Structure 1
Amino acid sequence: MNNQPRIPDPETIKRHVAQLREVCRQYDALNLLLDEAIASAEADIRNSPLTAYRLGKAKRVAVEEGAKESS
């Protein structure tokens, strides 16, 4: 029994390398698209009136807690 791996011919190697490069290019494009979507969502959250309200409320609570501790 011969279980030695067979080395593919150079044309097959070229084809597989080209396919792997294309897959990597597609993943890079997808990552860029996801990064842009995340940045857009983060900007929407930062500019949301609800976020501004919550930040204002959190600051008031922090100031009140600070006043209690210093008394």
Structure 2
Amino acid sequence: MTDRYPYPNEETKETCLDRLRENNRQLELYNLFLDDAISQVDSELRQQKRERLLPKIQPIE
């Protein structure tokens, strides 16, 4: 009686690796999308803060 794990054949390993690579690629794309969205929100927040603070700075006459 053997309790050894039956290792998958080469074709199964290649298929699994291809799926993992594709999933990794998709996750990288989603991360880029989220990075872009975060940078846009940061940019808008900086602009809003600038607009809020600028009118308060008045030249001394």
Q: In terms of Rg, which structure is larger? A: 1
- Alignment length (residue pairs): 55
After superposition, the CA RMSD in angstroms is 2.2
TM-score normalised per structure 2: 0.77
Higher RCO, 1 vs 2 (CA within 8 Å, ≥6 residues apart): 1
Question: Unaligned 5+ residue runs, structure 2?
Answer: 57-61
* One-letter amino acid matched to 2:46: R
Aligned-residue identity in percent: 33
Rounded to whole Å, the distance in 2 between the matches of 1:4 and 1:15 is 23
* One-letter amino acid matched to 2:30: L
More helix by share: 1
TM-score normalised per structure 1: 0.67
Q: Which residue of 1 aligns with 2:47?
A: 47
